Amino acid sequence: MKRFLTACLLCLGLIGAANAATDAELTKQVNAFVDGWHDDAANTRMAYFDKIAKDGVYIGTDRSELWTRDEFKAWSKKYFDAKSAWTFKATRRNVYASADKSLIWFDELLDTKNMGHAMASGVIRKTAKGFEIVHYQLSVAVPNEVVDQVTGIIAEHEKKAKK
């Protein structure tokens, strides 16, 4: 009986999350926020970093790229100063949320100027002041048919770097 009740509660929680995920107004707001965030980078507006929570984390494509917001801002400064940051255009985004809509997560497919196709996922916290990005992870989209070639190149690169 205890397992049955636990399963029922889990299902209700998932239904609540699924309902929040299909909330058209929330999805519209999240899309506008994340698209605006990407646009801030494309136009080298420092407001880009204000949209990342103070305790936020940004994970880039290189295995060394695990930054707090302030570390990421310091690393990115040279690109923003040169007016040449990155351009990400979402071609698809899925938005999900907790039942109370205070925690939102998303995944997105991106077209980028310098990496081609990429993928990302993020977590957004809804606060009294609006949205803030708590976690963002970017990855290069590698077709399965060429993943062996790509991992081979990476292995060769790492082997040379150790020398």
CATH of the domain at 73: 3.10.450.50
Residue 109 located in a structural domain: yes
pTM above 0.85, yes or no: no
Q: Supply the pLDDT for residue 110.
A: 98
Residue 68 located in a structural domain: yes
Per the model's pLDDT, the better-predicted residue between 161 and 8 turns out to be: 161
Residue 74 located in a structural domain: yes
- Asked if 59 and 52 count as a contact pair (C-beta separation under 8 A), the reply is no
User: How many distinct structural domains can be found in the chain?
Assistant: 1
Residue 16 located in a structural domain: no
Length of the chain: 163
Which regions of the chain does DSSP assign to beta strands (E)? 52-59, 66-68, 88-97, 103-112, 116-127, 130-140
Domain hosting 77: range is: 24-152
Percent above pLDDT 70 for the chain: 87
Residue 33 located in a structural domain: yes
Give the pLDDT band (50/70/90) at residue 133.
very high
Query: On the CB side of 101, how many CA atoms lie within 13 Å of its CA?
Result: 14
Residue 10 located in a structural domain: no
Q: Supply the pLDDT for residue 71.
A: 98
